[in-house]
Structure formats: structure tokens, C-alpha cells
Amino acid sequence: MTPPIALPRRLGLWSAVAIVVGSTIGSGIFRSPAGIAAKLPGPAPMLTVWVVGGLLAMCGSLTLAEVASGRPATGGIYVYIRDGFGRLPAFLFGWAELIIIRAAALGAIATTFSEYALRVLGFDPAIAPYDGWVHRVAAAAIVATSVLNIVGVRWGSLIMNTTGVAKYGGLVAIGALAFVVGLPATGGHYTPASPPGSWGLAPFGLALVSILWAFDGWADLTFIGGEVKDPERNLPRALILGAVGVLAVYLLANLAYLAVLSVDEIRGSKLVAADVADRLVGRPGVVFVALTVMLSTFGTLTGSILTAPRIFKAMADDGLFFRAFGRVHPRFETPWLAIALCGALGVGFVMVRTFEQLADTFVTAILPFYALGVAAVFALRRRADFRPTFRVPGYPVTPLLFVAATVFLIGNALVDPASRWPTAAVLFGIALGIPVYRLTVAKGDSPPA
């Protein structure tokens, strides 16, 4: 059998950091605050859940920094699950990525891009016929970023570097404007900090799911670990630097929103950043924010479709997926069929589902595998061939906190009547991969043609 073709290592440290930041800062910080304010209607619980979500993401990042430095291979979490727990759990991750996770993520990100693009052009994406245009523009964005990533990883990383600076700078600018112009006029909306009824364990858990959507992307760099230069050093550094930078700017943004809008106003604002800018400087501010969000989501879309197809390539190389999806384009040196597959699935999802449906589906499906990827550190530390260049601080508490939080969130979603059946449906879809594995890969343990 022809050995799999390795992808060239072209990404340096700052390109890797840009991928973490660019993959993480996307639609969540611009769309999630409304839903969080509805569940936790008070400044203190709203800000607390962002801090808790950021710390959980940091626990995951620190742990994966160790695992990635010891397993710097294309496929990231897929490889960690395979080496830590075996082929079936790894196959289930790839199965979930194929039928649910990646398509839902691409659809949610592209939907936000589309909504803000229409707003820049002067159309209201909430009313007909423009609500239908949202799906078509989002599909076009997925196709465009797929083509760019097929043409070469350098194009993808260039977009990530450019949009990463733009989106980070845009959020900092919104924060500065809110504190300089908005805060003196309003005095801020930070009190009462904890109104009656604003705290609750179950609502906090549901809000935390939305927060983890906003922080998602912290693990995407691991999928492309086989293309990072000096990965033993650069992977852990990029994961940590990116996670810290994202947490800082998210807290700044939420403090800025509360400087201008009340909790009730945030709860009723699906495009909160644009509404803040409109309140501060009018139409020019709306255009600036809309352009920032467009750049942000386009960069995140590029990063998502840059990294995720590497999972299917790694699976194909292992014989857990069709060999064709492991092929590398002879000219562009990218897994072009895997990228095309991700793009096609994303287009299919975005044409029939809303942002909220896509985001919730993604988080529910990815959480169990993030927990497995993080928990792999316990299994890998017992192996003689695991020699990481970075050790997670606070071991074993740091990875245990992340795993325990994941179990709580999934359990909370199953108990809550509003999310019980959608959560169960997603988990059932993942479980369907078990008979698929038994009937295909495990039968003779031979790779599909």
C-alpha cells in the first residue's frame, strides 16, 4: 500500500496564534450575548459565566498543549483519542465531524457573516425576502472559503493573519469607544449586579453552552499540527497565547456592551455590537461594526475549513475513512477532496437551519470529544513513547476540571425540558456511528477503498 503523503510544515508561531484567535473569535461574541442575558439577566452572572467559560477553555487549551507537543500530527483531537482510547472512539469523532459537527459550525459562522453583510448593504436580514437571502449568501461564503483553502494553506493562513488582526482590533476599538463615549453618558449598566432571579444552576449551565460556542476554536490548531513548524515548541505556545488573548478581548467586549446597553436591551439585541455602535455614533458605527464582524466571521470560516478536513485525511491515512479523502493535490499540496466534502456538507446544513439550531447542535456534538481529547493525557502519560515538551500546570486537576464540566453540561442539557430532546437526538446520531464502524471498518479491519 502506498504510504500516506505528509503535508508540508509551513506555519510559524504567529500564523499558528492567528489560527487560534481567528478560529475562535467569530460569531459567538457578536450573537451569544442576547441569549446569555435571557438566561442570566444580571451583569454579575453574565460576566461570571464568560469568565468560567474562558477558564474552562483555558483548562482544555493547557491540557491539549501538552498532548499536542507529544503528538504533533495532522488530525489533532482525532489522533489524541485514537492513541489514548482506540480506533472506535476515534472513528466516532470523525463520524460526528462528518455528519454533524463541522457542517453545523460552518453553517452557524457563515450565517452570521451573511446577516452582517446584508446589513452593510442596507437590507434587514430579519424580514422577507432578505431572510431567505441569508442562507444563499452564507452558502456562497462557504464555497468561496473552500476554494481558497484548496488552492493552498498559505492563502488560508494569510486570510487568518489579516482578519485576525482586524477582528481583534475591531473589538478593542468598540471597547475603547464604549468606555470613552458611552460610559460617561450612561454611567454604565453594572448595577444592580445580581437582580433577583438572575442566578440559577440550570440556566447557568445552558448559558455556559453558548459561551463554549463563543470560545470554540481553541482546539482547531491541533487538527493542522502536522503543518506547523517546530511543533513541539510552537503548538503549546500558540494554544496558550491564543486562549489568553481571546479571553481578554471577550471580557473587554462584554464590559463595553454593558457600558452602553442595559441587560434588557442586550437580551433583545441579536446584533448587539452593531446596536452598541449605532447608539454611540450612528450609521457609520453600524457600518464599521458590520465590516468588523464580516471580517471576523470570514476569517473564522476560513480557519474552520482550513483545519477540519485534516481530520478526514488522518482518518483516511489510518484506514478509517475512504482512501480518496487522504489524497493531497499534486499542485496545491492540500487535502482537496476532504476540503470539498466539508464545504458541501456545510452548504447543505446552512440552507435548511437557523443560527441557533446550528450553534446548539455543534456544541452538543463536540463536547464529548473535547472531553475525550483532554482526557487522553491520562492514558498517554502512561506510554513510553509519549515525550511532550510542555507539561500542563496543575495536573491532574486542570484536565479533570474540564472533563467534569463537560459531563455537567451534557447532563444539564438532558435534564432541562427545553434542550432534552435536541440533545438526545444529537447523541443518538453520534451513537449510530457504532454499527457503521462494526459493519465497515471493524469487519476485517481493512480500510475502505
**Whether residue 144 has pLDDT greater than 70:** yes
- Write out pLDDT tens, residues 352-379: 888 777 877 888 898 899 999 999 999 9
d(CA 4, CA 324): 11
What's the pLDDT band for 156 if we cut at 50, 70, 90? low
Selection from 27, 79, 18, 40 nearest residue 271 by Cα = 27
Residue 423 lies in a domain: yes
CATH number, position 381:
1.20.1740.10
What is the rounded CA–CA span in Å between residue 359 and residue 420?
16
What residues pair up with 218 in beta bridges, in sequence order? Answer: none
- Whole-number percent of the chain with pLDDT over 90: 24
Report which of 121, 125, 144 is spatially closest to residue 135, judged by C-alpha positions: 125
Helix, strand, coil in percent for the chain, rounding step 5? 75, 0, 25
Per the structure, the count of domains in the chain is: 1
**Alpha carbons 275 and 293: distance in angstroms, whole number:** 13
Q: Is residue 5 part of a domain?
A: no
Q: Does 446 map to a domain? A: no
Q: What is the mean pLDDT of the chain?
A: 83
Question: Residue 447: inside a domain, yes or no?
Answer: no
213 is in which domain, residue-wise? 13-439
Is 448 domain-assigned?
Answer: no
User: Would 4 be classed as within a structural domain?
Assistant: no
- Separation between Cα atoms, residue 352 and residue 335, nearest integer Å: 27
User: pLDDT: is 440 or 180 the higher one?
Assistant: 180
Instruction: Mean pLDDT check: name the lowest of 33-47, 89-103, 292-306, 355-369.
Output: 292-306
pLDDT tens track for 382-407: 998 898 888 888 899 999 999 999 99
Query: Is the pLDDT assigned to residue 447 strictly greater than 80?
Result: no
**Phi/psi of residue 261, nearest 5 degrees:** -115, 150
Question: Which of 334, 341, 263, 339 lies closest to 6, judged by CA?
Answer: 334
pLDDT at 449: 36
pLDDT at 448: 38
Question: Of the candidates 269, 278, 273, which has an alpha carbon nearest to the alpha carbon of residue 254?
Answer: 273
In a domain, 444, yes or no: no
Within a domain: 7: no
Q: Amino acid identity, residue 431?
A: A
